[in-house]
Structure 1
Amino acid sequence: MSQDTLSEFVRETAVKFGVPGVAVGILVDGKESYACHGVTSLDNPLPVDRDTLFVLGSVSKSFTATVLLRLVADGLVELDAPVRRYVPELVLADERAAAELTVLNLLNHTAGLGVRLVVETGDGDDALAGYVARMAELAQIAPVGARASYSQAGYNLLGRIIEKVTGLTFEQAVASLALEPLGLSDTTYTLDHAITRRFAVGHNLDEDGELAVARQWKDTRGNNPGGGIVSTVADQLRWARFHLGDGRADSGATVLPADLLARMQEPTVELQGSTLGDAFGLCWFLRDVDGVRTVGHGGSGNGQFAELLTVPERNFAITVMSNAGPHGPAVNQAIVRWALEHYLGVVDRDPEPLPHDPARAEEIAGIYDIDVMTLVIAADEAGLTLGVGIKPEIRAASDTEMPSDYPPAAMGLLPGDGDEYIVTEGGMTGQRGFFTRDDSGAIVGVDLAGRLFTRVPTAAN
């Protein structure tokens, strides 16, 4: 694959979706290629390059999980141990859940915890402790171990375990146990580091439908374990190279034993009808595409989006970062799919939805919510639409700017039992999920992006 061909596709895709800046890194059999397009900011533009810092959002979880497993290798943490062994002060909304919760439940998102807390606990070294102290405010949406449901809060709690065990701040622990041994000098959690470098800012649509700079650059310090890391495509390829390897740094020193590195990529709990994957490993999303196993994680921030995907059996990795919503995820997905096909011959296509069924549409139409967001499924003669937005009261209570909502976009049901769906338009194009039924067969919830949204009761249901 020529560099010009890659660069041209990246440019065309960014222009098509109206995203100001995109950075791409690809690793094939040890050889790195890069393609960058556009600018870091519409207000203060600089060219995006391979060393431009982007906020990676939930890709950060792969660092938290790797450091946690480093502590497992050192005998300081046990995966099946109760979390209270390490954080005895933990209080949750459900006391039974707090007592039963294990480290493994947090790593593979089977804790049954709500998605996140919107709280500000400051920028001090006690930020994470303050966050965990408020976790009793978080909903317990399922019994511990009953199912997978993605939780930012769960990974923030893992970060607190790391602090308690090491005696360091979370950021210091990640730096000393992962970033420094692997030479990831352009990966950080701190603004002090970022503002001395070239960095991208996020963009969201304003009230007039025009892209505007997002004024909150990254999440709060209390959210660093789940979503606070900042990096470049060059550093992310180094990170991918490590996870495709045997657990050793370039120096030959062991950062993580090979068996634990491999265990991160082994299924622990299945996912149903999810774009994210077929199963969770230890943090990683595992997905079979066209006969090959992929291992990866995506992330989103305030108008910034990242994707890191590896194909271990083909010694391949791709990282993509973009800086505008709502179409950043679509840009990232298009580039990842193109690279899989053109570099590996692996084709990733969305399934075709069924023809519109008014009776089924009426059954599932409704309002569904989680702690911070509301999902609205509406039906009319043309078909179904799905929209997702942050709850107004959450926006009102937040002291910082929050990402823009996803307006209603077309969706369709998929063949099979009819309880899986796919979004076919808009910024969530290609997102898949499924509906949950109770013992009577009534629809009581819907999964989107690995998160369980509970149906809001109405007179009709």
Structure 2
Amino acid sequence: MDSSLAARLDALFAPYQRSDTPGLVVGIAHGDALRYRRGFGMASLEHSVANTPYTRMRIGSVTKHFACLAAMLLAEAGKLDIDAPARSYLPELPARDSDPTLRQFMNHSGGERCFLDLFMLTQGLSMVPAGAALAMQARQSEHNFPAGERAMYTNGGYQMLSIVIERISGMSFEAFLAEHLFGPMGMIDTIAAPHDMQILPGMATLHVRDATGGWERGLLPGWRCLGEGAIVSTLDDMLRWIAHLRGEKRIGSAATWREMLTPVRFNNGEVGTYSLGLMQTRYRSVSMLHHSGGSIGGACQMLTVPEHGLDIVIMTNADTINPIALSKRVIDIVLEAHLSPVESRPATSVEYPAWLGTYHSRETGAYCEIVDRDGTLHLIHHNLVIHPLPLKLVPNRPRTLALDDGPEGALYLKLHSDGTRLDMTQCGQSQTLDRLANAAPHAADAANGLVGRYVSLDADALAIIKQESNALAMSVQGRHGAAHYRLDPKSNDMLAFTPHDPSSMAYGAMRLSRDGSGNTSCFRLDTWRTRNLLFTRIDDGTTP
């Protein structure tokens, strides 16, 4: 890499070269040669240890395609059928009209709820024991959607896939990956680490920004993370793996890799962006094969542009750094001469003021806000206010805005001409949301008939709703911990909920059902990854 490119990359990452904050490590290969390999910021603020190219970090959900390849190796050996119903291998799971297959677990089209989302909703960051994930998946009487109808990102399917790998192979998930993947590839610093209580040599501490501007230690909230996000690795090991991913294969047959790279096809014939633990999308006319991953206090992006032999690994140990955005800036710099202009431009609030507002579907539970952030429109999906998503114009599609392709594919929004309704389309499935009135009900009015105790059998949790001064609050007690939320009325029968303390993690919406007297008999919670979670009122005479 010439000195001018290196200087531009140094400038890109210079803001993270500090001794008072955590940071990241960056590895870039281009044309089958290592071009850039550096560490920035601190691996441990507690012990004043800097990040280096040798620092080990969690890769989060980048683990998923390793889990898929492990399953495919068992399929090659005739021991596993990824198109068989998952219940063939996990009879503990509930029967459904259309049981999801292992393949649907792998491409997120199975429709099952996610144990991790349910645990974070009901007990925040409390540590959950080994075995709790399968128990939570097994107790679900309802699902998010019928298998194959669409995609919704879920860690639960990958936890289940990993258990199947263990049962069929007779080995632990960690041992199977070490023997069949990491060892043959020479990935000597890579392991599957099921929890963050282990002391691992050379491992960066995960850091979470606290409310005062300081830092807290990040920890996975459980003792048995598997194929959903267990791997710890280094730049050198991951660059070695990406070169294998886009080049000649040493592990897995040609048929296996065709399966690994075949995008999901939904029941309606629509084709998505997600295959088996990997995504294939385009950016400025180049095709990318990639996956990102997040942990509590860190993130990772693994990306290759095969046609140009460009491989990028960025791993962070701070929850304030976005490696996905940084990886695209690396593409801008390294492949500048090969890129087309940006295909679409942001939607501005000056041009599209009529879109600003709050929308909800009583039928499906879909809830979103379109807000102004620095002059451009952003979507807040299911009240996830910490993660507003920029909206862009869609060429040749009037009155339509979109999000960049994600694991579930592109999401399109179309505002009706009268401005009262919004069509939301993803995976070929459309739903219509109604615009909510700007003036929301007062909390005191919403409290009438709502305050009380409610139980969810699927979540194995008790919710207590109270009125505190002029505000509404909900405390949820799960089997292993509790979470606390603020409730904000948005309409007469819908409220949004937001974490009330740092250890509570979920954001979403609450739909109320009332009896003939106007009292709430039950409600359903909808989050980004959980739909229709039922809580029913308990008439036990207890005052909340």
| TM-score, structure 2 as length reference | 0.65
- CA distance in 1: counterparts of 2:425 and 2:493, whole angstroms: 17
Matched, 1:82 2:75: no
Deviation larger for 327-336 or 82-91: 327-336
Match of 2:255 in 1: 259
Instruction: Indicate conservation of the 8 Å contact 2:292/2:324, yes or no.
Output: no
Deviations 1:256-299 (A, max 9, x none): 112312431233338xxxxxx96112221001334432111011
Matched, 1:201 2:184: no
What SS class does the counterpart of residue 181 from structure 1 fall into?
Answer: helix
- CA distance in 1: counterparts of 2:189 and 2:38, whole angstroms: 18
Deviations 1:95-117 (A, max 9, x none): 224xx211111111111233544
The offset of 1:434, in angstroms, is: 3.2
Match of 2:97 in 1: 96
Deviations 1:162-211 (A, max 9, x none): 11111222212222221112121211123699734222223333223x2x
- CA distance in 1: counterparts of 2:210 and 2:328, whole angstroms: 25
The offset of 1:224, in angstroms, is: 2.2
The within-5 A match list for 1:307-456 is 307-329=301-323, 332-342=326-336, 345-346=338-339, 349=342, 351-355=344-348, 356-362=351-357, 365-366=358-359, 376-378=369-371, 384-387=377-380, 406=386, 411=391, 414-415=394-395, 416=397, 418-422=399-403, 433-435=411-413, 443=422
Structure 1, unpaired ranges of 5+? 249-254, 271-276, 392-404
Matched residue pairs, number? 413
The offset of 1:60, in angstroms, is: 0.9
Q: Which has the higher contact order (CA 8 A, sep 6+)?
A: 1
Aligned residue type for 1:6:
A
C-alpha distance 102-418 of structure 1, shift in aligned 2 (>3 A): farther
Deviation larger for 303-312 or 199-208: 199-208
- CA distance in 1: counterparts of 2:297 and 2:341, whole angstroms: 25
Deviations 1:136-183 (A, max 9, x none): 348622211011221111111111111111122221222222111212
Out of 274, 287, 293, the residue aligned to residue 287 of structure 2 is: 293
What SS class does the counterpart of residue 35 from structure 1 fall into?
Answer: strand
C-alpha distance 39-298 of structure 1, shift in aligned 2 (>3 A): same
- CA distance in 2: counterparts of 1:278 and 1:147, whole angstroms: 9
| TM-score, structure 1 as length reference | 0.75
Aligned residue type for 1:327:
I
What SS class does the counterpart of residue 288 from structure 2 fall into?
Answer: strand
Q: Select the structure that is richer in strand.
A: 2
- CA distance in 2: counterparts of 1:74 and 1:348, whole angstroms: 46
Instruction: Indicate conservation of the 8 Å contact 1:321/1:332, yes or no.
Output: no
- CA distance in 2: counterparts of 1:7 and 1:200, whole angstroms: 26
Out of 220, 225, 231, the residue aligned to residue 222 of structure 2 is: 220
Q: Select the structure that is richer in helix.
A: 1
The within-5 A match list for 1:139-288 is 140-190=143-193, 195-208=199-212, 210=213, 212-248=214-250, 255-269=251-265, 279-288=273-282
The offset of 1:238, in angstroms, is: 1.3
Deviations 1:293-352 (A, max 9, x none): 21110111112111001123333311111222333346533444335525x733584621
Aligned residue type for 1:207:
A
What SS class does the counterpart of residue 227 from structure 2 fall into?
Answer: helix
Out of 43, 48, 52, the residue aligned to residue 51 of structure 2 is: 48
CA-based RMSD of the aligned residues comes to 4.2
- CA distance in 1: counterparts of 2:422 and 2:283, whole angstroms: 29
- CA distance in 1: counterparts of 2:433 and 2:191, whole angstroms: 39
Instruction: Indicate conservation of the 8 Å contact 1:107/1:155, yes or no.
Output: yes
- CA distance in 2: counterparts of 1:71 and 1:215, whole angstroms: 37
Percent identity for Structure 1 against Structure 2: 23
- CA distance in 1: counterparts of 2:422 and 2:17, whole angstroms: 35
Structure 2, unpaired ranges of 5+? 437-490, 495-544
